[in-house]
Amino acid sequence: EMLDEVQVEGTFPDGTKLVTIHHPIR
């Protein structure tokens, strides 16, 4: 599976952090 854009949503006790990673795979 090839993902151009990967969204990782992590929930922490301190709050909510959203991290977007752009990693094109050829």
Question: What integer is the mean pLDDT of 3-19?
Answer: 64
Q: Where are the alpha helices (DSSP H) in 1-26?
A: none
| pLDDT at residue 18 in the model | 62
Question: What integer is the mean pLDDT of 9-20?
Answer: 65
List, in order, residues 6 or more apart from 5 with CB less than 8 Å away: 20, 21, 22
CA-wise closest residue to 17 among 4, 8, 5: 8
Domain boundaries, the chain: 1-26
Amino acid at 5: E
Provide the pLDDT confidence category of residue 12 given band limits of 50, 70 and 90.
low
Angle subtended at Cα 16 by Cα 5 and Cα 10, rounded to the nearest 5 degrees: 50
